[in-house]
A and B are shown apart, each in its own frame.
Chain A
Amino acid sequence: MGEDIIIKIEHLSKSYESDKTKGEKTFILDDINLDISRGEFHVFLGWSGCGKSTLLNIIAGFVPKSGGSITVNGHNIDGPGRERGVVFQNADAAIFPWNTVWKNVGYGLRIKGTPTAERDEIVSRCIKVVGLEGHENKYPDELSGGMKQRVQIARSIANDSEILIMDEPFGALDAQTRRLMQKEVVAIWKETGKTILFVTHDIQEAVSLGQKVSIMSRSPNATILETINIGVPYPRKLDNAQVADFFQRIQGFFDIEYEI
C-alpha cells in the first residue's frame, strides 16, 4: 500500500446555475484534491448538506462533475462502472424485492454472463463473507435492515468491485445493529482488501472505521478541510486514549466550522 494510488481527485468542483443566481455559478463542491491508495479505508465526514454525498455520487459516476478531474486506476470517470460498487443508505430501494438474497448477490455476475457453476461458487463465498449463510432463499422483505446492508455489500464483493462506495450505509439502522455492522465492515475490509469510501456525519463512526478521515467544510464551496491519518489498530474502542484524542480533534474542527 502507500504509493499505489487507485483514485486521484484533482481540483474537482461541482456547480450549478439557476435563475435565482442570474447566471452566477453556485459551487456545491470547490477545488477538492485527494489521493486514495489501493486498499484504503477512507471516511468522508461532514454534516448534513455539506456536499459529501454529491462527492460520492460524482465518484460513483451518477452525477457529472463541473470541473477538475477524477481518475480511477488512471482512467477518467465518465459514468458508473462495475469496479465501483455502491452500497446505498436506502436498502429497500437498492435491493431488488423480486429476487432472493442469492439472486440479488449474483446480479452483477448474471449481467456479466459468468458461467453458472463459477457464479454459484462466488455467490456462496460472498454470502459467507458477510455472514448471511442460511438466508440465501429469503426475499428482501424477510430481512432486517442490517441484513439488507449485508446483501448490498455481498453484491459488490461478488461483482469483484475494487472499490466499495458506501453512503451513510448504517444511518438507518438502530444503534446496536450499527455497532455490529461497523465491526463487520472492518472485518470484511480486512478479508477482501477492498478500497472503501465511506460517508458519514457521525464522528464516532468515522474514528472507529477510517484509516483516513477527510473532514468536509460547509456548503456552498465545500471542500476537504483536512485529511487525518488515524493510525490506531482495529478493533478500536472509543474509550481508547488515542481514539478519544482523534475524536476531540475532529470535534474541534466542527466547532470552528459550524461556530458552535
Chain B
Amino acid sequence: MSRLEKMRQNKIFDVLLKKGAVTFVLITALWQLASLFNDADFLPGPAQTLKGGWEIVRNGVLFDYVAISFMRIFVGWSIGIVCAVPIGLIVGQFVLAREILEPFINFFRFVPAIGFLTLFLMWFGVEEESKIAIIVYATIFPVIINTIAGVAGISEIKIQVAQSQGASPFQIFYTVTIPASVPYIFTGIRLGLSGAIISIVAAEMLAAQSGIGYLIYTSRLYFRTDWIFVGILTLGLSGYLSDRLLRFFGRTILRRYGVKG
C-alpha cells in the first residue's frame, strides 16, 4: 500500500481533502514559493497580500466595494430571474412562442453582456442603471434556456396523470409544468449568478468608480499588485460562498422539487 493510500484511509485527511483544505494549503505553498523568486510588485506572496488586504479592510474600502458590487449583482440578477422565468416557461410551453423567440434567443446568447456596455452607458446613463442592465442581460439567457429545457423535459406520464385527473391545460401548466421545471430553473439561476459576477467585474473595470472590478483595475496605477490579488481572491471567495449559499437553499427549501445541491 502506498503512502498516499494510507493517508487516504485516515479520516481526518479525507475530510480535509474533501473540504478543499488540502488544495488550499498546496496552492498557498506554491504561491509562497513562486513569490520568493519574484519582485513583490510583480508577484506579491500570501503574507504581503494579507497585509495589503488588511489595509483596505481597516479603512473600509474593501467592504464598501464588495457591498456595492454585490448590490449591483443582486438587484440585476433578481430582475433578470423575474423576467426570464416566465419567458422560459412560455417559450417552452407554446410552439408558436418558441418558433418566434428561439432564433432571437440563440442570436443574443452569443453576444456577451459586456458587449453592450457602451450602448447601456448611452441608454441608461453612467450611474447604477447601466451596470444593473448588464447584470440583467447576463442573467436572463442562462435562466431562459434552462427553463425551456425544464419545460421540454417533463415526463409525458406526469401530464397524462393530470389529464386523467381532469386538469385543464392551464391547470396542468401551474400544477405540473412549473413545479416539474424547478430543478432546471434553479440550475439556470446558478449559472446566471456566475455570469452576473463575471460581467459586473468587467463593467466595473471599464466604467465605474467603485466595486471589486474597479479595485482590481485601478490598483495597478498605485503599483499595489497586492490589492489586485486581494480583489481576485475576494471575487473567487465571494462567488464560491454565494454559490454554496444558493445550493444550500436549493437542497433544503427546494429539495421536494428534486433540486440536488
Contact = CB atoms under 8 A, between A and B. Distances in A.
Interface in A80-100: 80-82, 84-86, 88, 90, 93-94, 96-99
Given A97-B258, A155-B165, A80 B160 contact: yes
B7 interface: no
Interface in B175-201: 175-176, 179, 182
Contacts of B167: 111
B165 A96 contact: no
A159 interface: yes
B155 to A, nearest CB: 5
Given A96-B176, A139-B256, A159 B166 contact: yes
Interface string B150-161: 000001011011
Interface centre among B161, B162, B179, B256 (most CB of A within 10 A): B161
Contacts of A139: 256
Contacts of B176: 96
The binding surface of chain B is classed by DSSP as helix
Interface string B127-163: 0000000000000000000000000000101101111
B164 interface: yes
Nearest to B172: A111
A80 B162 CA distance: 9
Interface residues of B, number: 19
Contacts of B164: 60-61, 80-82, 84-86, 161, 165
B166 A81 contact: yes
B171 interface: yes
A90 B157 contact: yes
Interface in A123-179: 139, 155-156, 159, 161, 165
Contacts of A94: 157-158, 161
B257 interface: yes
A86 B256 contact: no
A81 B163 CA distance: 7
Nearest to B165: A108
B160 A60 contact: yes
B160 A62 contact: yes
A22 interface: no
A64 interface: no
Contacts of B257: 97-98
B149 to A, nearest CB: 18
Interface string B40-59: 00000000000000000000
A79 B167 CA distance: 12
Nearest to B258: A97
Given A96-B176, A139-B256, A111 B165 contact: yes
Contacts of B165: 82, 85, 107-108, 111, 155-156, 159
Closest 10 pairs between A and B when the two form their complex, measured CB to CB? A82-B166, A108-B165, A80-B163, A93-B157, A80-B164, A98-B256, A93-B155, A86-B164, A98-B179, A111-B167
Given A60-B164, A94-B158, A94-B161, 7 more contacts: A60-B160, A61-B164, A80-B164, A81-B164, A108-B165, A111-B175, A159-B165
Interface of B: 155, 157-158, 160-167, 171, 175-176, 179, 182, 256-258
